[in-house]
A and B are shown apart, each in its own frame.
Chain A
Amino acid sequence: MPADLARIYDEHAQALFALALNVTRRDADARDVLQEVFGRLAARPGLLEGLENPKAFLLRLTHNQAIDLLRRRAAREKPDLAREAEASAGHPFAASARADEEEFRRALADALGVLPPEQRTVVHLKLWEQATFEDIAQVLGISPNTAASRYRYAIDKLRVQLRPLYNEIKNTWMTSNNS
């Protein structure tokens, strides 16, 4: 096992896994994506040499692989079966000990699952990778304005779906903090 590949895995696998899981919505597919990405890196050891932002390149590679896998999956499976499989898959967020927070994370996962993959990816990169719109544009090969508009559309949809639950949690937390 090349030491360099192991180092790249330790540095970036978490971010790549989270993106792959958020796009594909299945653990097995996220693993396939990671396998493919690291397979390519192993086949071409100099792939990351000279890059200013290797993480952006790896995220782009992961995103492309995930989208490619989604297309293959769509061609292979019936839409109803795919939706059922996605619904039964585990959500991409860590489990929480608090019931209301766990409920919110499940609702957030469901709401993200309804978004088109391109909007879901932008939201993921913006919120959980702290990427700027310029970074997102670089990763996805789109303009920063397109990235920003996709983000706004997606956040508006999430806000509509999650606002009641969010307000409820916020009020509960404020009440418990006051008492």
Chain B
Amino acid sequence: MDDFEQFLKSQPMRCVPPEWRGDILAQAADASGGKPAAVVLPWWQAWLWPSPYAWGALAAAWIIIIGLNMASAQSSPNRANGKAVPSRQEFITMLDERRRLMEKIYSELNPPPVPSPSQAKLPDTPGVSLERRKLEERPFA
């Protein structure tokens, strides 16, 4: 603190007028005895100070926002059931269709193997049956 600030500091403030003491204390005592609401009011004033209207408007805006949010939350499940999300039965049917389609595609891409001429079943005539039996007993003879 420099000289200038020290000089300012040395300037004495006025004294509180002595006649105020009795009046202020008497009025304070009267107010506390006569008005029970005074006990409740200060925390409201302290809480809302310094802009009670601004706080009130903000609270009202929040109440409106919460109300709109709750209203939209109540209506949204109906909308969802109706359009966006399929039911369980529809889902199962859809899976079945998909499975059938996949089997069809797989069978078209991988046809069953055609048997070779050597493995083909020979006619069951007596002469042929004898030859066939020999082949089956001694295939490399």
A, B assembled together: yes
| Residues of A bordering B, CB below 8 Å | 1-2, 5-6, 9, 13-14, 17-18, 21-22, 27, 31, 34-35, 38-44, 64, 67-68, 71, 90, 92-94, 104-105, 108, 127-128, 155, 158-159, 162-163, 166, 170
How many residues in B have their beta carbons less than 8 Å from beta carbons of A?
29
Chain B residue nearest to A111 in the complex (CB)? B8
Please determine whether A43 and B8 come into contact, CB atoms closer than 8 angstroms: no
Contact with A along B28-46 (1 / 0, CB 8 A): 1101100100110010000
- CB within 8 A of B5: which of A94, A155, A170? A155
Residues of A within 8 Å of B5, CB to CB, are: 127, 155
Cα–Cα distance between A14 and B13 once the two chains are bound (Å): 9
Residues of A within 8 Å of B11, CB to CB, are: 93, 104-105, 108
- Given A9-B25, A34-B24, A41-B28, verify A166-B14 contact (CB < 8 Å): no
Interface of B: prevailing SS: helix
- CB within 8 A of B42: which of A18, A40, A92, A105? A40
9 residue pairs, one from A and one from B, having the closest CB atoms? A42-B32, A17-B16, A42-B28, A18-B13, A38-B28, A43-B38, A43-B32, A127-B9, A94-B12
| Chain A nearest CB, measured from B8 CB (Å) | 6
